[in-house]
């Protein structure tokens, strides 16, 4: 009798997990947000038809419209891509770069994003950042969008839970072995999605938004420069701290330096 009760309780827990996963993955943009996006897209198309001299100001307004949609909780590759295009046409390459970086989190292999990012960089010659060891282990990490990793993790978890339910009542060795194998893949998928969560939600990223920025050893102009030469526009850095309108940054070389907050764009 006790064994039956334990089975029943386990079934409740398993179905509870399925319910939580289903609810967590069912959030869709509401009609108001969709309408705001369509209005921004329409404004973008109208701005393209304006005389060249009037376009930067209008595209600035369009970019704020797209940003308003994002601020309401709608995040996707196409929206960030359109935001980047609007900032680029508004002659704000730093903000455009930040938007394209965000777009690549959802659409990492999109050639248009990569091409427009290069346009925003202009003639900047950037060295390739050092690849963390974990990205060699998870070799697919930068080829699959963060949302796809989450969906894959959820689907694997759901299938694993269903197999677990069947394994409770059916004592087939092959079913248990298959379930264990699937559990291993589920753990790997969850770790991959968790790494994205860490590097995109926990770590603060930014780009250098000015030419020839001079990082310093402290948060004022009185401190000595960190490097012997200025750093280039478009370099990606990690934000570590903020103090009196200055930010402490970590560069790809592993060195830390301070810059005025208005010389970077966080993304």
Report the alpha-carbon distance of residue 101 to residue 207 in Å, rounded. 9
pLDDT, one tens digit per residue, over 232-245 is 999 999 999 999 89
The pLDDT value recorded for residue 16 is 52
pTM: 0.83
The pLDDT value recorded for residue 122 is 87
The pLDDT value recorded for residue 129 is 73
The pLDDT value recorded for residue 26 is 44
Phi, psi of 237 (to 5 degrees): -140, 170
152 vs 174, more confident: 152
Report the alpha-carbon distance of residue 243 to residue 79 in Å, rounded. 32
Q: Comparing 15-29, 36-50, 164-178, 229-243, which segment has the lowest mean pLDDT? A: 15-29
pLDDT, one tens digit per residue, over 106-164 is 999 999 999 999 999 987 767 667 788 999 999 999 999 999 999 999 999 988 888 88
The pLDDT value recorded for residue 73 is 86
Residue whose pair of structure tokens reads 């943009």 in the numeric block: 29
pLDDT, one tens digit per residue, over 114-123 is 999 999 998 7
Coil/strand/helix, residue 111: helix
Burial 36-51 (b: 16+ CB within 10 A, else e): bbeebbebbeebeeee
pLDDT, one tens digit per residue, over 1-37 is 433 445 545 444 454 554 444 444 445 557 888 888 9
Assign 168 a pLDDT band (cuts: 50, 70, 90): confident
pLDDT, one tens digit per residue, over 192-218 is 999 999 999 999 999 999 999 999 999
What interhelical angle do 77-89 and 111-121 show, nearest 10? 30
The pLDDT value recorded for residue 8 is 47
Under a CB-based contact definition with an 8 Å cutoff, are residues 160 and 183 in contact? yes
Coil/strand/helix, residue 23: helix
The pLDDT value recorded for residue 178 is 87
Report the alpha-carbon distance of residue 253 to residue 127 in Å, rounded. 11
pLDDT, one tens digit per residue, over 84-99 is 999 999 999 999 999 9
The pLDDT value recorded for residue 170 is 75
The pLDDT value recorded for residue 220 is 93
The pLDDT value recorded for residue 5 is 42
Under a CB-based contact definition with an 8 Å cutoff, are residues 98 and 206 in contact? yes
């Amino acid at each position: 009798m006790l064994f039956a009760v334990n089975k029943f309780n386990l079934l409740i827990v398993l179905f509870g997990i399925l319910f939580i996963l289903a609810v967590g993955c069912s959030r869709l943009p509401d009609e108001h947000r969709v309408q705001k996006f369509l209005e921004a897209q329409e404004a973008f198309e109208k701005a393209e038809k304006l005389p060249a001299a009037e376009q930067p100001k209008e595209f600035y307004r369009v970019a704020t419209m797209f940003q308003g949609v994002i601020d309401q909780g709608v995040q996707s590759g196409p929206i960030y891509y359109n935001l980047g295009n609007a900032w680029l046409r508004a002659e704000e390459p730093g903000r455009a770069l930040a938007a394209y970086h965000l777009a690549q989190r959802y659409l990492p292999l999109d050639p248009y994003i990569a091409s427009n990012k290069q346009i925003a960089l202009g003639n900047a010659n950037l060295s390739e950042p050092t690849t963390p060891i974990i990205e060699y282990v998870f070799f697919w990490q930068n080829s699959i969008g963060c949302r796809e990793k989450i969906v894959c993790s959820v689907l694997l978890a759901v299938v694993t839970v269903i197999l677990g339910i069947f394994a409770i009542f059916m004592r087939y060795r092959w079913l248990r072995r298959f379930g264990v194998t699937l559990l291993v893949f589920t753990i790997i998928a969850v770790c991959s999605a968790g790494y994205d969560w860490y590097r995109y939600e926990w770590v603060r990223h930014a780009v250098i938004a000015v030419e020839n920025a001079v990082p310093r050893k402290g948060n004022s102009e009185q401190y000595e420069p960190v490097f012997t030469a200025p750093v280039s526009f478009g370099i990606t850095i990690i934000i570590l701290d903020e103090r009196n309108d200055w930010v402490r940054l970590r560069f790809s070389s592993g060195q830390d330096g301070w810059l005025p907050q208005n010389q970077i764009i966080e993304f």
